Amino acid sequence: MSTAPDSVVVIGLQWGDEGKGKIVDLLGADADFVVRFQGGNNAGHTLVVEGHETVLHLIPSGALHANTVCVIGGGVVVDPLVLMEEMRALAARGYELAPERLRVSREAHVILPYHKAIDQARERLRGKGKIGTTGRGIGPAHEDKVARTGLRMVDLCDESAFRSRLEQSFREKNAYLKDVLDDRVLDHGALVDELLECGKVLAPYVTDTSSLLHEALVAGKRVVFEGAQGAMLDVDHGTYPYVTSSNTGVGAAAVGAGVAPRLLNTVIGISKAYTTRVGSGPFPTELNDSWGERLRRDGGEFGATTGRPRRCGWFDAAVVRKGVRLNGVDYLALTKLDVLTGIDPIPVCTGYRRDGASVDGLPASASELETVEPVFEHCPGWREDLSTMRTAGELPAAARAYIDKVESVTGVPVAIVSVGPGRDQTIFLRSFD
Ligand code: IMP
């Protein structure tokens, strides 16, 4: 592994599912801390180590390295039941996370059962106009956070205060579920008790992660910040309203982890060699034909969280350029290049056109983005199986030319190429300066 910088932020440049988990796991081998800073268990980060697959939704992808401390920052929304289940599943596989190895911010907001019920009931009511959320309660939990009615991990650990505030919230949310969303009400008694049990187990893990990370960074420790979702799902800069409820970029790493922005050194943007998205919303290079099916089949493009088939399309440089600009990306990691084997030529979208005129960047409105026409260049394909290659020298000339094309249309050097899900199926093209 090439020398990793002291603090590195890893973020997705598309609509999520770019393969951030694998890259974070690789960088995590050298890291003292791996930090989730936004999102929640809507994420699904898949790690494959020696043939064994681990899917993490909430716990940072440093969990499989014995000397790495995993931190869930204050910007994450935490479902305590999911967190405990994930800890149990990891322990059963020999990855026990004692409190010294898993630190959870006392400021992180808690996803409560009514958040999930509201998320799912709203999606049902939206019918065809649904966002296609993961149904994990992410949006409603963020709403309560911003409305200043949320409950945080620090509250979960304070039994009497938590019980009375939660009972009050249940009364209000049950009325909303029944009267506005025409849904069933929740029996809060058992749910409150279950959550308080979680609070007791999790209390030793809950701490001031902002100070912990500040001290680590000023002491020169290695910290990897693990983004979830991707730039196009960012609530401000993504394809609104078909987005998640958090900011997904570098700014969110500083805010969500509670560290000063100037302590973040290097930004690695992750992009697939093609494009996918789950859920609704515009997707200019989407393929609703046998090419899309082929990418889905060869890329195993089914959601790690919900199992939904992902929508697939060609690489879209307009999308990736926007993520690069927003986040000051220093290096790209290009994932799933092996999936393109056998496609010849390979279309690459370099920008958009509408009514014969070129379109500058991405239109802000989802309906306008639906109407753009992608402009394609075609790269020569290759037939060799890349999945066994480990060095740049082994790559066929056409695969190297495809990487060069990605660099030229995004303006960012590709430092890592992933040619399969395994840790070892990785080619390092340059070290991080
Ligand atoms: P939510 O985050 O569950 O509210 O879902 C909002 C949108 O973001 C939906 O289109 C989801 O499919 C999408 N989404 C949320 N998390 C992820 C992720 O980790 N990968 C890909 N898409 C995601």
Query: Do 278 and 346 belong together in one domain?
Result: yes
Q: For a substitution probing ligand 1, which of 77, 79, 134, 301 has the most ligand atoms within 8 Å of its CB? A: 134
Ligand 1 pocket check for 418: Cβ under 6 Å = no
Query: Do 254 and 201 belong together in one domain?
Result: no
Q: For a substitution probing ligand 1, which of 17, 42, 237 has the most ligand atoms within 8 Å of its CB? A: 42
Query: Do 218 and 246 belong together in one domain?
Result: yes
In degrees to the nearest 10, what's the CA dihedral of 129, 130, 131, 136?
170
Query: Do 214 and 267 belong together in one domain?
Result: yes
pLDDT for residue 49: 83
Closest-CA residue, ligand 1 atom 9, reads: 133
CATH number of the domain encompassing residue 279: 3.90.170.10
Contact call for residues 255 and 227 (beta carbons, < 8 A): no
Query: Do 91 and 224 belong together in one domain?
Result: yes
Return the ligand 1 atom nearest residue 138 CA: 4
| Residue 100 forms part of a structural domain | no
Pick the last residue of a domain from 138, 173, 205: 205
- 123 CA → ligand 1 middle, Å: 13
Query: What is the identity of the amino acid at 39?
Result: G
Ligand 1 pocket check for 228: Cβ under 6 Å = yes
Residues known to be catalytic: 17, 45
| Residue 16 forms part of a structural domain | yes
Ligand 1 pocket check for 118: Cβ under 6 Å = no
| Residue 240 forms part of a structural domain | yes
Query: Do 387 and 272 belong together in one domain?
Result: yes
Q: What span, in angstroms and rounded, lies between the C-alpha atoms of 296 and 286?
A: 12
pLDDT for residue 307: 87
Query: Do 349 and 226 belong together in one domain?
Result: yes
Query: Do 75 and 214 belong together in one domain?
Result: yes
Query: Do 198 and 229 belong together in one domain?
Result: no
Ligand 1 pocket check for 16: Cβ under 6 Å = yes
Contact call for residues 53 and 59 (beta carbons, < 8 A): no
Query: Do 220 and 289 belong together in one domain?
Result: yes
Query: Do 48 and 159 belong together in one domain?
Result: no
Q: For a substitution probing ligand 1, which of 76, 239, 278 has the most ligand atoms within 8 Å of its CB? A: 278
- 303 CA → ligand 1 middle, Å: 10
Ligand 1 pocket check for 134: Cβ under 6 Å = yes
Cis peptide preceding 421, ω within 30 of 0: no
Pick the last residue of a domain from 164, 183, 205: 205
| Residue 70 forms part of a structural domain | yes
β-bridge mates for residue 428, sequence order: 416
CA 146 to centroid of chain Cα atoms: 21
Ligand 1 pocket check for 140: Cβ under 6 Å = no
Which domain does 32 fall in, by range?
Answer: 7-95+209-428
| Residue 33 forms part of a structural domain | yes
pLDDT for residue 433: 67
Ligand 1 pocket check for 275: Cβ under 6 Å = no
Give a three-class secondary structure readout of the chain. Answer: CCCCCCEEEEEECCCCCCCHHHHHHHHHCCCCEEEECCCCCCCCEEEEECCEEEEECCCCCCCCCCCCEEEECCCCEECHHHHHHHHHHHHHCCCCCCCCCEEEECCCEECCHHHHHHHHHHHHHHHHHCCCCCCCCHHHHHHHHHCCCCCEHHHHCCHHHHHHHHHHHHHHHHHHHHHHCCCCCCCHHHHHHHHHHHHHHHHHHEECHHHHHHHHHHCCCCEEEECCCCHHHCCCCCCCCCCCCCCCCHHHHHHHHCCCHHHCCEEEEEEECCEEECCCCCCCCECCCHHHHHHHHHHCCECCCCCCECEEECEEHHHHHHHHHHHCCCEEEEECHHHHCCCCCEEEEEEEEECCEEECCCCCCHHHHHCCEEEEEEECCCCCCHHHCCCHHHCCHHHHHHHHHHHHHHCCCEEEEECCCECCCEEECCCCC
| Residue 42 forms part of a structural domain | yes
Closest-CA residue, ligand 1 atom 1, reads: 133
Total domains, the chain: 2
Return the ligand 1 atom nearest residue 280 CA: 10
pLDDT for residue 188: 87
| Residue 2 forms part of a structural domain | no
Instruction: Report the 10 Å Cβ neighbour count for 209.
Output: 27
| Tokens representing residue 252 in the block | 């969110």
pLDDT for residue 1: 43
- 186 CA → ligand 1 middle, Å: 25
| Residue 102 forms part of a structural domain | no
Q: What span, in angstroms and rounded, lies between the C-alpha atoms of 81 and 93?
A: 19
pLDDT for residue 2: 43
Query: Do 74 and 151 belong together in one domain?
Result: no
Contact call for residues 304 and 46 (beta carbons, < 8 A): yes
pTM: 0.96
Pick the last residue of a domain from 189, 205, 221: 205
- Which pLDDT tens digits describe the chain residue by residue (433 residues)? 444 568 999 999 999 999 999 999 999 898 999 999 999 999 988 888 888 888 899 999 999 999 999 999 999 999 999 999 999 999 999 999 999 999 999 999 999 999 999 999 999 999 999 999 999 999 999 999 999 999 999 999 999 889 999 999 999 999 999 999 999 999 988 899 999 999 999 999 999 999 999 999 999 999 999 999 999 999 999 999 999 999 999 999 999 999 999 999 999 999 999 999 999 999 999 999 999 999 999 999 998 888 889 999 999 999 999 999 999 999 999 999 999 999 999 999 999 999 999 999 999 899 999 999 999 999 999 999 999 999 999 999 999 999 999 999 999 999 999 999 999 999 999 987 6
Closest-CA residue, ligand 1 atom 22, reads: 16
Angle in degrees, 0-180, between the axes of helices 159-175 and 113-126, rounded to the nearest 10: 20
Closest-CA residue, ligand 1 atom 10, reads: 279
CATH number of the domain encompassing residue 190: 1.10.300.10
Ligand 1 pocket check for 139: Cβ under 6 Å = yes
Instruction: Report the 10 Å Cβ neighbour count for 310.
Output: 21
- Strands 206-207, 102-105: pairing is parallel
- 126 CA → ligand 1 middle, Å: 16
